[in-house]
């Protein structure tokens, strides 16, 4: 998607709108949060009979309502950025009326399905209609898991298929997007967890999620190193690397994508887990989200040459 309303695959110089980066970031964070909350909810309800603390069950329901609502709002804003960048939103209807077997069409359908499932989960956990029983909500959450994974990976697959941009030609890009979106999603959930009622109980229940965040951050670091090695080994990426070495993008990559997206969250999450008292550090998740945005900014702007 270009500033002039074209597509990512358009010929000529790649000049990408900032709206595309916001769309990629918010879409990834929203899908990651949907995925994390759905998996956590399915696991929680699997053992709900053993959870005898009524306050914990109530606090978890409140948190689910908040997380699903926040995730849905982020996804809608993301879609709004996408349509605003298209300049001619009617073009999106062609994907529905004349679908083609392409990554773009696949992405349009999974984004639409994710939005529908997200809205259904907001209604199910907010209004709690009688026809949306525990089994119905569980079925929605399983669909949410599938659509979230699809949304988190399709944008990277789409960029990877843009052969004209050498920077995106490594398959490690797909793993990098998946890990980054999952990390951002965990940060969204942990932030919501921090601000809802029943804080102490939920922070204790979120301990495994903090450990999972460390594992995801480590996986993201590995994929980033592998992606960087592949880019450096590719002679066709010379112009992209020259652009990334410019002071502005270099600082964003080092301080933002690496420092704020990986190093600081890894350090703070590790510190939180070493404490005897149950605790979380909200600033760590805020910094992690900023780092996720910086990563996408560098990847997209690095391809704009």
DSSP state of 39: H
Q: What is the pLDDT of residue 154?
A: 86
Q: Is residue 248 part of a domain?
A: yes
| Cβ atoms 193, 279 nearer than 8 A | no
Q: What is the pLDDT of residue 4?
A: 38
- Say what percent of the chain tops pLDDT 70: 80
- Segment among 25-34, 130-139, 211-220, 291-300 with least mean pLDDT: 130-139
Q: How far is CA 15 from the centre of its chain?
A: 23
Range of the domain at 183: 18-302
Q: What is the mean pLDDT of residues 155-159?
A: 85
Look at residue 259 in the predicted model and tell me its pLDDT.
96
Quick check: 195 pLDDT over 60? yes
Residues 45, 26 contacting (CB under 8 angstroms): no
Instruction: Flag whether 11 is in a domain.
Output: no
CB of 191 closer than 8 Å to CB of 52: no
3-state secondary structure of 161: coil
pLDDT at 10: 38
Residue 261, pLDDT score? 95
User: Is residue 1 pLDDT above 50, yes or no?
Assistant: no
Q: Is residue 126 part of a domain?
A: yes
Domains: count for the chain:
1
170 falls within a domain: yes
Q: Assess whether pLDDT exceeds 80 at residue 167.
A: yes
| The pLDDT of residue 112 | 86
Per-residue pLDDT at 70 exceeds 90: yes
pLDDT in tens, 222-242: 999 999 999 999 999 998 899
The pLDDT of residue 20 is above 70? yes
Residue 84, domain CATH: 1.20.1630.10
pLDDT at 60 (0 to 100): 82
Query: Is 9 within a domain?
Result: no
Beta-carbon contacts of 86 under 8 Å, excluding residues fewer than 6 positions away, are: 1, 5, 92
303 within 8 A of 229, measured Cβ to Cβ = no
**Residue 287 within any structural domain of the chain:** yes
């Amino acid at each position: 998607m270009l500033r002039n309303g074209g597509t990512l695959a358009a010929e000529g110089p790649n000049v990408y709108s900032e709206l595309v980066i916001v769309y990629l970031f918010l879409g990834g964070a929203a899908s990651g949060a949907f995925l994390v909350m759905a998996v956590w909810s399915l696991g929680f309800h699997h053992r709900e009979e053993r959870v005898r603390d009524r306050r914990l069950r109530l606090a978890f329901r409140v948190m689910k309502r908040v997380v699903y609502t926040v995730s849905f709002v982020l996804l809608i804003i993301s879609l709004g950025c996408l349509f605003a960048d298209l300049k001619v939103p009617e073009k999106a209807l062609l994907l529905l009326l004349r679908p083609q077997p392409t990554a773009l069409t696949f992405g349009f359908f999974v984004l639409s399905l994710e939005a529908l499932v997200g809205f259904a989960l907001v209604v199910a956990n907010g209004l709690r209609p009688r026809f949306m029983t525990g089994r119905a909500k569980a079925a929605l959450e399983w669909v949410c898991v599938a659509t979230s994974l699809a949304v988190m990976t399709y944008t990277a697959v789409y960029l990877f298929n843009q052969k004209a941009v050498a920077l995106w030609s490594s398959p490690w890009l797909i793993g990098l997007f998946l890990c980054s979106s999952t990390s951002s999603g965990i940060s969204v959930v942990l932030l919501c967890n921090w601000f809802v009622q029943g804080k102490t109980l939920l922070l204790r229940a979120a301990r495994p999620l903090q450990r999972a965040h460390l594992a995801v951050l480590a996986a993201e670091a590995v994929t980033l190193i592998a992606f960087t090695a592949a880019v450096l080994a590719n002679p066709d990426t010379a112009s992209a690397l020259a652009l990334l070495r410019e002071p502005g993008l270099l600082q964003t990559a080092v301080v933002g994508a690496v420092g704020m997206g990986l190093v600081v969250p890894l350090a703070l999450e590790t510190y939180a887990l070493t404490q005897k008292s149950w605790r979380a550090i909200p600033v760590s998740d805020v910094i992690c989200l900023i780092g996720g945005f910086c990563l996408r900014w560098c990847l997209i702007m690095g391809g704009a040459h």
